[in-house]
Amino acid sequence: MNDRELRAAMDHAVAVEPPPMREEPVLTAGRRALNRRRAVRASAGSAAVVAIIAAGVTVLAPSQGHSGEIPVGAPPSATKDTPAPSTSARADATATAGPEYDRAAALAAALDALAPAGYGTPGDLKGVDDYADRTLKSHKAMSAGTVNGTEVWNYAAGTPLTKGEGVGELVATVYSPGWATTGEGCGLRPAAWDATRASCVEVDVNGKKVAVADVVYPPQDGLTSAQWAGYRHSDGTVVFVMQSAGVARSGRPHLGTMPMTGPELAAAAVDPRFQLR
């Protein structure tokens, strides 16, 4: 596949797009972010004035505006902006009720049941900074499209695993029968999380060949190492289960070790509870 063919394939991939995004949610989120920034600046300015007055010096509040190059991709103030809820996101492909939603909820329950003894799976633990309003536990069901007349669903769930002050996580994603896959064991394609960085071994679970991959990220990525297991059931259901000893944006220290062994994770991938049928 040369560059021209790859470009054509990418054109094809984005050719069928959802309806246009609505502008109002973005404007609303922008106004809120602007108000937050102004409030923080006003607060900081007031604090500075109070401090300086206390020192016996009279000053004017600093100018709000300034010129110069704008930092790209970063909030233009020292404060972190909370992302607005995804009001613009397509809801049509996400099940918010009904049997598919229930399967995602069942996946979340299966993940909770997988937690080793001594670990907690709190539902109210939230992230920090700009993700302070999002819980670390979540689940969803989303249509992945129709393949050969069959609608394929993707179910995903994640839960924090806590022990003492430390927090790690379990994440699972399941594709219903019909998802286009090839191979088995370490040859299963498409593979899950960051396959190009994965070091894979095959684990036999009662005669079933399961891929168990260790993923190590470069230091500059700042991501905790992860381990995932992947298996395609005979009915075509594909299950990936991942564990990590840390959670980005949790504001809490990592667990000392991975919560589970590789064989335990492999056993989870073939566990019928993750088959969701």
Partner 1 sequence: MTSPVNAGVERTMNGREDRFAAYFAARSGAMRATAFLLCGDWHRAEDLVQNAFVKLYLVWHRVGQDEKLDSYTRQILVRTFLDEKRRGFFRRERPISEVGDRPLPELDDHVENRVVLVQALAAVAPRQRAAVVLRIWEDLSIEDTAKTMGCSTGTVKSQLARGLTALRSLVPANSV
Residue whose CB is less far from partner 1, 106 or 242: 242
180 is a site residue for partner 1 (CB under 8 A): yes
Q: Among 7, 52, 164, 256, indicate the residue that binds partner 1 (CB under 8 A).
A: 7
State the CB neighbour count (10 A cutoff) for residue 181.
15
Which amino acid does the sequence have at 106? A
251 is a site residue for partner 1 (CB under 8 A): no
Q: To the nearest whole angstrom, how small is the minimum distance from the Cβ of residue 207 to partner 1?
A: 27
Q: Which of 133, 135, 140, 199 is nearest to 167 (CA)?
A: 135
**Alpha carbon distances (Å) from 210 to 83, 110, 112, 200:** 38, 19, 21, 10
Instruction: Give the span between the Cα atoms of 115 and 125, in whole angstroms.
Output: 16
Contact segment (CB under 8 A) with partner 1 among 49-57, 156-164, 206-214, 269-277 equals 156-164
Contact 77, 40 (CB under 8 A): yes
Q: To the nearest whole angstrom, how small is the minimum distance from the Cβ of residue 267 to partner 1?
A: 22
Could you tell me the strand order of the sheet in which 198-205 lies? 94-95, 138-147, 150-163, 166-175, 238-244, 226-232, 208-215, 198-205
Q: Among 29, 106, 125, 200, indicate the residue that binds partner 1 (CB under 8 A).
A: 29
- Binders of partner 1 among residues 117 to 136 (CB under 8 A) are 131, 134, 136
Contact segment (CB under 8 A) with partner 1 among 43-51, 87-95, 113-121, 201-209 equals 87-95
196 is a site residue for partner 1 (CB under 8 A): yes
HEC string of 92-119 equals CCEECCCHHHHHHHHHHHHHHHHCCCCC
Q: Among 58, 63, 96, 206, indicate the residue that binds partner 1 (CB under 8 A).
A: 96
Residue whose CB is less far from partner 1, 169 or 210: 169
Q: To the nearest whole angstrom, how small is the minimum distance from the Cβ of residue 40 to partner 1?
A: 12
42 is a site residue for partner 1 (CB under 8 A): no
Tokens 């095959």, residue? Answer: 202
224 is a site residue for partner 1 (CB under 8 A): yes
